[in-house]
Structure 1
């Protein structure tokens, strides 16, 4: 049985709740990913700025604290540092393979050099210009790694939450399935009331109406049984009389006796026919009473005065 059928209450609940969880998880993951990228960019920019300002002040630059989740020994985390004097000559470079352009915008900028885009922070002192740069591709890769680690808890919690919702919906609708099994497995002549134990308040009125229906059907069956028993009892005497009259007709020895027996036989048949008609009328009345509206209280005083 397909539990996700849209024409079932369980399927609709699961589609709605699981869809809401997936949508919320995607939105939460997207926001967390975006915020993590922004925070990583801010951390890297802060490190670049601190290195440049420390060099301008002539302070020794200690080891740079890597952001959480980034290996400080990863060469992609290394910053490129270049120092230019007032005459425009490069007096220091931290990497011979990565050379930055001499002309740079003070502050933060993105520069293209050696086929690579760099994030550059430049600061000027009276005698020199200090540039600190980082490869944007490596920077973006590390920021993405940090962002994915931030998104990972959301990706792990979403399936767990979906399982909890699945279990909760299945457990909540278990009484409905139990009532269905009670109705499906009972015999055709079993008209006892369904158990209301453990039935949620939302479907208890349905169970109560089913029990009332079973009660009305049981009353109709009882009335039918009584009618059959009464009909058999009422027809026994007329049929016995008809049998005796037929026997009398067979034993008649003359025409006068035979004529009397025939008249009695016709009278017995008429009585039996009237009795059958009365029984049929009674059966129709009982059927109309069974199909009629529930009994209503009647003011006896007003009825007696009428």
Structure 2
């Protein structure tokens, strides 16, 4: 795969095989032990039944005192004898034993003995067989049961292994499909003829591809817009620098220098905002610290008050509570300044801007309400895009303020809401949790854009 070597530490296929093999062996062992044990005791019961059948034949005088021989193995003989017999070749068993089956130790050997009394007389006899022989027959019966189970288990494991290999082929095919693509092909993978278990994984990949494509398109638009925004002031500055050389008087030269300095300042601000936006969009992970939200708001109002005063705008704090929140760099200062600066820009002369800061349900809420003309509903969804400016907007600016504020809020785990007020104007609201543990981890931002009811 593109020459890459990946060290595999875990294999789902191997893990499945191991667990299935382990589980199967456990069940086979248990089944073998149970089946073998049952076969063992059934074989011993069968031997007891044979002794009882031989005894029945003796009782009806069809067999006499003798040995029933096995031509292949002398040790497999069944002995029939009368109790109390003094023959040296016979088993020496006392006549006092009770009738029935019992195991006796005779001459250092274990014997299974059935003692019975003839119904027509008091004559007693026994039918006996060596226990060692009986156990050997029983063990052979057990093994005859166990080995087929073991063989069946081995065949089953081989079949299961082949099935698992076949089940994982769609994943390998999917990986091969992805590996053949270059970085420019982000179209979704085919979703037909896909296993039900693989479908969620495939849908997630297609979702990721779609989001990646959207992000790439967004970055491409951003680069194109940034190039356009930079091209215009750079061209203007180039013309201004040439005009300085052609100034006819000292006063004219100074005027053109002032225009050049203003253009340079606008260009510096644009570049600084572009760098801020790029830094924030690259998942900036600078240190966070607790700060006074009140001081940030008061400093912003102090800094921007002269702009509001020039337009005779009533700028003030309508409600304020003492709040502390986590901040990252000068992020909150930028966010607050952007919100108040936008309100001043788009509020007509003699208007009002109310700033409030309060806590609600464990969240710090910063709100700016103005009496401007508001934003067309169809443009509320677009206003956070970089370089976007509402139609008919004649105010100076480059459309980066709200985009930067959005990224700052995302990095701080905050939430921005922009609403059209019923009585005119815009309400900008920023909400951030006062819970330190929630703010220390960056969470995705969701910006809400709705009508204020």
Sort the TM-score into its range (normalised by shorter chain). Answer: 0.7 to 0.9
The answer on whether the counterparts of 1:82 and 1:90 sit within 8 Å (CA) in structure 2 is no
Q: Tell me, what secondary structure is at the counterpart of 1:202? A: coil
Tell me the alpha carbon deviations over residues 232-280 of structure 1, each in whole angstroms, 9 at most, x when there is no partner. Answer: 2233233223212222323446534533432442354355457666153
The aligned counterpart of 1:76 is 75
Distance 1:28 1:266 in 2: 92
Q: Within 5 A, what are the aligned runs for 1:223-302?
A: 223-252=218-247, 255-269=250-264, 272=267, 278=398, 280-281=400-401, 284=404, 293=446
1:75/1:272 CA distance change after superposition, 3 Å: same
Q: What is the CA distance between 1:37 and its match in structure 2?
A: 1.5
Distance change (3 Å), C-alpha of 1:284 and 1:184: farther
State the alpha-carbon separation in 2 of the partners of residues 240 and 2 from structure 1: 55
**TM-score (norm: length of structure 2):** 0.52
Q: Is the 8 Å Cα contact of residues 68 and 77 (structure 2) preserved in structure 1?
A: no
Tell me the residue number matched to 1:213.
208
Greater Cα shift, 260-269 or 35-44:
260-269
Are the structure 2 counterparts of residues 244 and 294 from structure 1 closer, same or farther at C-alpha, using a change threshold of 3 Å?
A: closer
Residues 238 and 105 (structure 1 numbering): CA distance in 2 closer, same or farther, change over 3 Å? same
Residue 191 of structure 1: SS of its match in structure 2? Answer: coil
Structure with the bigger percentage of helix: 1
Tell me whether 1:144 sits opposite 2:143 in the alignment.
Answer: no
- 1:56 lines up with 2:55 in the alignment: no
Task: Name the structure 1 match of 2:31.
Answer: 28
**Which segment drifts farther, 233-242 or 184-193?**
184-193
Partner of 2:117: 124
Deviation of 1:153 (Å): 0.9
Contact 1:176 1:199 in 2 (8 A): no
In the TM superposition, residue 129 of structure 1 has moved relative to its aligned partner by 3.0
Greater percentage in strand:
2
What is the TM-score with the length of structure 1 in the denominator? Answer: 0.73
8 Å CA contact retained: 1:231, 1:279: no
In structure 1, distance between residues paired with 2:58 and 2:8 = 68
CA apart distance, 1:222: 0.9
- Cα distance in 2 for residues equivalent to 1:168 and 1:176: 14
In the TM superposition, what is the alpha-carbon distance from 1:293 to its structure 2 partner?
4.4
- 1:46 is aligned to 2:45: no
Determine if contact 2:112/2:130 at 8 Å carries over to the other structure: yes
8 Å Cα contact 1:54-1:60 kept in structure 2: yes
Q: CA RMSD in A?
A: 3.9
* Inter-CA distance 20–275: structure 2 relative to 1 (3 Å threshold): closer
User: Mind listing any 5+ residue stretches in structure 1 that lack a counterpart?
Assistant: none
1:105 counterpart residue number: 98
The whole-number CA distance in structure 2 between the counterparts of 1:21 and 1:294 is: 54
Pair 1:286–1:180, CA change in 2 (3 A): farther
For CA contacts below 8 A with separation 6 or more, give which structure has more relative contact order.
1
1:87-102 equivalences under 5 Å are: 88-90=84-86, 96=89, 99-102=91-94
- CA–CA distance in 2 between the matches of 1:286 and 1:221? 19
> How many residues were matched structurally?
283
Q: How far off is 1:133 after superposition?
A: 0.8
Cα deviation 1:180-238 (Å, max 9, x = unaligned)? 66667765555332333443323423432332232222212212211211222233233
In the alignment, is the contact (CA less than 8 A) between 2:111 and 2:129 conserved in 1? yes
